[in-house]
């Protein structure tokens, strides 16, 4: 008697998620949570500062300081611009930062290009001398800087402040751009030299446009750093040169007087005026900044 034998299905192994993949997913989730928390911590004070500029002192120090303003009154912005001279200080800041950033990028890019593409005696020593400036705190040089500027007749002038800004911005600029110029292909520069280009023309017309992402990134960093600088202006632009003050000094002056005049809305309006230009610049050039920071890693 024949019996039917049912085929036995092969045992299928039960697969379970690998521990490594699970840990990666957990780490990714935690990193996203940390980024959200960090974004809230950064964005909330900026938004609150902007909204506080439209509030009255009663709203700011009342039971609900985090509530929306009852009326969006722009009079505090007018007081900060005219009475506290924020308009004058902002113009001074734009002039100083524009000139110092231009000179920093010009001299820094030239020095970085030579250090990155040319071999000569003392190359490494000069590079290390530039980089050593990154480890020197600004406040340690305040007294020597004040004496030097006074002896040169540059104390209380924008010229002296521009020179100091350039000197303190060059180390990071040279450090960043030297590494960037090393990633650029040497064949392009060699072809330009064979076609009759001088070293200067090769730098300005060939290599500098190729380094545009890195130049934009370091330019934005220099603009933000110099715009927010407080220690150097307060030392090199003393009280008798108030018409030459920068915006950080003007805001500090408003903060000091706010306790007596009780114009806290004007203080927050001045802070908003200082924040908005830098924020706009960063939003416009954020893609260029990211590409400049990562392009050297993928070449």
Q: What is the pLDDT of residues 256-298, one digit of tens each?
A: 765 566 678 888 888 899 888 888 888 887 776 666 555 544 4
What confidence tier does 299 reach under pLDDT thresholds 50, 70, 90? very low
Question: pLDDT tens, 175-223?
Answer: 999 988 988 888 887 788 888 888 888 888 888 888 888 898 899 889 9
Chain centroid to CA 81: 25
Copy the structure tokens of residue 56: 């009255």
What is the predicted pLDDT for the residue at 293?
Answer: 59
Copy the structure tokens of residue 188: 């392009």
Residue 84 has pLDDT above 50, yes or no: yes
Copy the structure tokens of residue 267: 């203080």
What is the predicted pLDDT for the residue at 297?
Answer: 46
In whole angstroms, give the CA distance from residue 246 to residue 89.
5
b/e per residue, 76-92, with b = 16+ CB within 10 A?
bbebbbeebbbebbbeb
Tell me the domains of the chain and their CATH numbers: 75-298 (1.10.3720.10)
What is the predicted pLDDT for the residue at 198?
Answer: 85
């Amino acid at each position: 008697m024949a019996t039917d034998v049912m085929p036995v299905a092969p045992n299928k192994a039960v697969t379970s998620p690998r521990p490594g993949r699970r840990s990666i997913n957990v780490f990714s989730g935690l990193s996203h949570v940390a980024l959200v928390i960090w974004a809230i911590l950064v964005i909330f004070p900026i938004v609150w500062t902007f909204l506080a500029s439209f509030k009255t002192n009663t709203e700011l120090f009342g039971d609900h300081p985090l509530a929306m303003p009852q009326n969006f009154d722009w009079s505090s912005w007018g007081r900060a611009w005219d009475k506290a001279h924020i308009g004058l200080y902002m113009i001074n800041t734009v002039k100083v930062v524009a000139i110092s950033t231009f000179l920093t990028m010009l001299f820094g890019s030239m020095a970085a290009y030579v250090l990155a593409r040319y071999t000569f005696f003392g190359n490494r020593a000069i590079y290390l001398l530039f980089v050593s400036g990154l480890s020197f705190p600004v406040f340690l040089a305040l007294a020597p800087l004040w004496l030097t500027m006074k002896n040169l007749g540059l104390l209380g002038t924008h010229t002296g402040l521009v020179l100091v800004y350039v000197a303190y911005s060059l180390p990071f600029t040279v450090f960043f751009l030297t590494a960037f110029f090393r990633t650029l292909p040497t064949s392009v520069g060699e072809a330009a030299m064979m076609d009759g280009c001088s070293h200067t023309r090769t730098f300005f017309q060939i290599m500098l446009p190729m380094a545009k992402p890195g130049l934009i990134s370091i330019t934005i960093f220099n603009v933000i750093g110099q715009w927010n600088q407080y220690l150097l202006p307060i030392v090199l632009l003393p009280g008798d040169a108030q018409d030459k003050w920068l915006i950080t000094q003007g805001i500090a002056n408003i903060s000091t007087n706010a306790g007596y005049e009780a114009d806290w809305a004007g203080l927050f309006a001045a802070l908003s005026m200082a924040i908005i230009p830098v924020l706009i610049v960063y939003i416009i050039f954020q893609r260029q900044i990211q590409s400049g920071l990562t392009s050297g890693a993928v070449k």
